[in-house]
Structure formats: structure tokens, C-alpha cells
Amino acid sequence: MYIPQEVAWNIVDPVAYSKEKPVDEAFRWLRKNAPFAQASLEGYDPFWVVSKHADILTVERQNDLFHNGDRQTTLATKEGDAQVRAITGGSPHLIYSLVQMDNPDHFNYRRLTQGYFLPQNIKKLEPRIREIARGFVDNMAAMGGKCDFARDVAFLYPLHVIMEILGVPQSDEPRMLKLTQELFGAADPDLNRSGKTPTEAGNDLGGLLGTVMDFVNYFDAMTADRRRCPREDLASLIANGQINGEPLAERAAMGYYIIAATAGHDTTSNTTAGGLWAMAENPGEFAKFKANPELMPLFLEETIRWVTPVKHFMRSATADTEIHGQKVAKGDWLMLCYPSGNRDEDVFEDPFRFKIDRQPNKHVAFGYGAHICLGQHLGRMEMRILWEELLPRLKWVELDGEPTRTVANFVCGPKSVPIRYEMQ
């Protein structure tokens, strides 16, 4: 069966994600009525919508059967796909990072930095990250009981952490934030380079290409510098890394830099901002957390589930197969819908309630299997440290206006979270 047009449009429309309710309702309908069905929308190739938690896991654990790189890894129109292939000389990927790779490239390139992000290795970063977090909490305390938590704290704190790790000087952090927001907010007129509306920006790759080229030019210069003078930073690891005895291919190296410089902070920023937004709307949960700070690990997982900053990834079938009783043909495109998986009533009791002591909490916000988020442990540690510094000092918090979300259907979350609060 094909998904009704209105439902299908709501799961691809960036504006619907900025409002959240249309997307939640569409996925709720799909989980109940068409848990694995095809969407056929004008301007798009047909694609399967994977809305159930169990089916997402089924796809994620079979990397040879469901490829990342054969087609675009995020949803694109036919026209957008054609433009990208024209620019790249046939590749469907404007950026070629770990996200777009299949084996053996994925295994080889991921192994290059995987050890760096293991819990036992990032633990040595904790004192410096705590110093950074404490500085942001002190700044928040000095703001007079009002701030935009997203813009003043949540966007800037993880940005500063990952840029120090990568080796980007602090003076360039505003530039990196702007480029990140242009990349992930390409449909948002407040964030994209052109100021175009979502409809106007839909198939306009000009601004997006300009953003990518700015990243490439910046990291080309950084690569040259780190090859001349290596340092103890992630950029030096990428610049001087080798695969099978050869330096990294330039396009893959650029993809590595870009994913670290964007997803390396934006997903954590979205989750942090969304976590405080949820606490401000649920004072009972905030009081419970204040009284029971040992709930920190459960609280972190619930904020990650609640926000689910990565909304989807696409996969393509490499052979005929079957999922949820439906026959999937070789070459078919599948949309893995993580917000839907994280609200699946078969897995999460009362899934639309923010519950800081939720247990178990087997969310799929970081993906699953071989492509699980490389920086998940760093992201958790950053959030834990910020909350360990903020929670004891935050007496109360409430919204001071209407929060807003980014207009985007790939990586997105809160754009503005105005709050009033009292700190000690």
C-alpha cells in the first residue's frame, strides 16, 4: 500500500518538523495503520517509510543488505539528486563522510579515529570539559535570571568542546557555528545562506554548495598546517591518517572534518536545549531530578530519546528481501524514521511523556550496529558534565516565551528556548 499523501508530506516537510505535532501525528498514524509502507510523492523517487522500532533495528543491523552509499543518505528530490550528481561527477553525495560509506571504506575510515572516542580515552578530557561547562554556567548565572538557553548556552558549549578537540581556534568558532547552521538548516530562512523560504530553498543547491566549499577551503588549509606541524588534536589525526598505507583520499578527509565540525556539536546542542525545554515544561520532573541527582544516567537517555536530533537516514536494498511482511526489491530506498522509533508504543510506555527515570530506554537516537554514532560517548559526557554543574545551582526554571524549532527534516531541534530562572 502507498501512504496517504498528507501523511507522507508531513514526514518530509521541514516546516512540519519545526511544528513537531504534524510529524508526531503522521508517525503515530503510520505505526498503527501502515508500519512499513511506501511513500509516493511528486518530485521524489518512491521510498519505504520505516516507522517501527523493531524494523529500524532490522535494517540497521544488516549493513551488507542495506547500503548507505549507493544512493543519497538523506532524503532528496529527483531534481536535487540530479544536481548533486552533476556537481560531483556522478556521486549522489555532496559530502562523503562515514555516514555515506559502506564497507570496506566504512570499516577502514571509522577505525582511524574510533580509538580516540572510546570512553577510556575521552575520560582524560573530562577536567577541561568541566572547566568549560562551569564557565558557561557562571555566565548563565550572571545574565540576571533571563536568557535564551539554546543560543546562549546549548549551542556554544558543545561547539567549544569539539572545536578544542578538533584544533579549531576559538576565534573561528562563530564561523563554524554559522556554517553548521547553514548546512543543517538549509530550509530555514533564518539560518540558510540565501534567506530563502523552505519551498524556494528546496532544490536550490547554490547556497548549500557555497557552505560546503567554505568548509573545504578552511580544512584544506588546516590539513596543510597539520602535515607541516602535527599537534595533539583530531585534525592532525585526520591530516596524517593513512588507509592501507596511503594518505586519506581528499574527499573522504574533507568529509571527516565536516562531520566532526558539524554533527560533533549540533546533535549535542539540540539535545541539551531540548532537555532544558522539557524540564521547564515539566516542573515535577525537574523537582524529582533536583532531589535525586543520581538519576543522571536515566535523565540523559530520556533527553536523547525525547529530542532525537537526527530525524532520518536513508538506506538502499542491495538484494530482494522482506520486512514486516512486505517485499522489498533490490535498489529500493528506505527512510529510517528515528523519532517514530523513539515514540513506538510497543517499546516505550507512555512515549509522549517526558520521564526522567524512564527505564528501560532502548532508544535508537544514535542509530544502531556498525553505523552507531562515533561520538556518542563524548556527547553523553558533555551533557552529563554540564548538568552536574548546572543542576545544583539552578533553583527553578520556566519558559519566558514560546520556544521555536529549526525548519529542517534531517538534523534539527530547538532554535530558541527563552527561559526565566533563579540560580545560586
Model confidence band, residue 1 (pLDDT cutoffs 50, 70, 90): confident
Model confidence band, residue 201 (pLDDT cutoffs 50, 70, 90): confident
What would the grid cell of residue 68 be?
548507505
Query: What is the three-state SS of 72-135?
Result: CCCCCCHHHHHHHHHHHCCCCCCCCCHHHCCCCHHHHHHHHHHHHHCHHHHHHHHHHHHHHHHH
Which CATH code of 1.10.630.10, 3.20.20.70, 3.30.420.40, 3.40.50.300 fits the domain covering 5-146+263-356+368-423? 1.10.630.10
pLDDT surpasses 80 at 183: yes
pLDDT at site 241: 96
pLDDT at site 206: 84
3 state SS of 337: strand
Of 311, 304, 409, 309, nearest to 363 by C-alpha is 304
Reported as half-sphere exposure (CB side, CA atoms, 13 A), residue 159 has a value of: 24
Model confidence band, residue 409 (pLDDT cutoffs 50, 70, 90): very high
Q: Provide mean pLDDT across the span 377-400.
A: 98
What would the grid cell of residue 66 be?
542495506
pLDDT at site 196: 83
Q: Give the tens place of pLDDT for each residue, 280-337.
A: 999 999 999 999 999 999 999 999 999 999 999 999 999 999 999 999 999 999 999 9
Taking the whole predicted model, whether its pTM rises above 0.95 is answered as yes
CB atoms under 10 Å from CB of 7, counted, come to 19
Q: Delimit the domains of the chain by residue range.
A: 5-146+263-356+368-423
pLDDT at site 372: 97
Partners of 321 in the β-ladder: 328
Model confidence band, residue 185 (pLDDT cutoffs 50, 70, 90): very high
3 state SS of 5: helix
Whose cell is 533527553? That residue is 303
pLDDT at site 194: 85
Q: Give the tens place of pLDDT for each residue, 204-252.
A: 788 899 999 999 999 999 999 999 999 999 999 999 999 999 999 999 9
pLDDT at site 247: 95
pLDDT at site 374: 95
